[in-house]
Amino acid sequence: MDGKQARRTGTSGPLGELFDHGLDSYSAALIPIYMFSLFGTNDLPPIHMFFVIWNVFLNFYLTHVEKYNTGVMFLPWGYDCTMWGVSIILFLTTLAGPDIWHARPFFNISMATLFEVTLIGSAMMSSHPIIIKNIYLSYKNKTGKMRPFMEAARPLFPFLWLFAITTFWCFYSRNGIVDLTPRTLFILLGTLFSNIACRLIVAQMSDVRCDGFNLLIWPLLATVAVCCFPWYKEVFGSEISPEMECWIVQALTIFVTVAHLHYGQGVVCEMCDHFRIRCFKITKQTEAANAAAAHEHEVRRNSTPV
């Protein structure tokens, strides 16, 4: 609806695309957390949910990697269907209660397992192959950016860094951080991913070289080093406490969120200055210019000989 509204008012542009896809990148973590809250940790362990969220991240990110290399974005219906599905599930939960999702209607398989398998399987069948095919055809037909392999794969580097570091943290945390405070950890992951995705969106819109590394990885790497240090007892005489690790995660989440909001505010202000527009406001001058352009187009169309 936001894209249709922008086209209707004649305000389509890079700023709207950044808002649209940038906010979608943030919701890529929030939407799965709703499902995690419904199923609970018994049917859907936090480590499983961690990889479910990463599957959502991958689906979203690959579409922008595709546009970065081809100039055209393939938008599968999966993301929209996911939002509709989550809305319907939350509505049914309001009516019938969360216990309906603990039933095992098919071969004693939990609803959480069905959700997990369906989400991952549908992405592998409906999204990833098409994106790979589109990138391959852009090179074959020479319709894309024709970047060398390492430059074409450059957007994946910060994404893979984030995946590797957070996966290591989940498996080697001294206190099992993914079970200790899963929602805070998922919000942290979502914020870091959104920052990486937004920077790629800006790069592909402006047709410049994307970042090969995200600076917010450094505080994450330092945090993981502190939380996974294997010789606490030998060096400090005691292990790092679960409360301390929770405080560290919360502090990093606040820091990353503030940094991401600061980045977003700065980019939006620069784009508004560049395009001479006001954020969240459609000026009368813009409407008049759009009307004049539409009138001129109509006159030209009617005057064209058949």
pLDDT tens digits along 167-220: 999 999 999 999 999 999 999 999 999 999 999 999 988 889 999 999 999 999
Share of the chain above pLDDT 70, in %: 87
Per the model's pLDDT, the better-predicted residue between 162 and 104 turns out to be 162
The listed range with the strongest mean pLDDT (44-58, 208-222, 282-296) is 208-222
The pLDDT of residue 304: 47
- For residue 129, name the pLDDT band (cuts at 50, 70, 90): confident
- For residue 288, name the pLDDT band (cuts at 50, 70, 90): very low
The pTM of this model reads 0.85
Span of 16-25, 170-179, 260-269, 277-286 with lowest mean pLDDT: 277-286
Rounded to whole angstroms, the Cα distance separating 225 from 234 reads 16
Mean per-residue pLDDT, 274-300: 62
The pLDDT of residue 167: 96
What's phi and psi for 247, nearest 5 deg? -65, -40
Which tokens sit at 8?
């209707």
CA neighbor of 64 nearest in space, from 54, 56, 75: 75
Is residue 166 over pLDDT 60? yes
Which amino acid is residue 158, in one-letter code? P
Is residue 150 over pLDDT 90? yes
pLDDT tens digits along 50-99: 998 998 899 889 999 999 999 887 766 666 667 777 788 888 888 888 88
Per the model's pLDDT, the better-predicted residue between 133 and 83 turns out to be 133
The pLDDT of residue 275: 81
The pLDDT of residue 57: 92
CA neighbor of 240 nearest in space, from 179, 184, 176: 176
- For residue 3, name the pLDDT band (cuts at 50, 70, 90): low
What residue has token string 């959104």?
A: 194
Q: How far apart, in Å, are the Cα atoms of 222 and each of 7, 216, 226, 249, 277?
A: 45, 10, 6, 11, 40
Is residue 291 over pLDDT 70? no
156-186 CB burial, b ≥16 within 10 A, e <16: bbbbebbbebbeebbeebbbebbebbbeebb
Contact predicate 66/134, CB 8 Å:
yes
Contact predicate 131/66, CB 8 Å:
yes
Q: Is 278 in a helix, a strand, or coil?
A: coil
Is residue 293 over pLDDT 60? no
Mean per-residue pLDDT, 234-262: 91
Q: Is 106 in a helix, a strand, or coil?
A: strand
Which tokens sit at 163?
């995946």
Contacts (Cβ under 8 Å, ≥6 apart) of 183: 33, 36
CB atoms within 10 A of CB 25: 23
- For residue 253, name the pLDDT band (cuts at 50, 70, 90): very high
Contacts (Cβ under 8 Å, ≥6 apart) of 209: 151, 154, 203
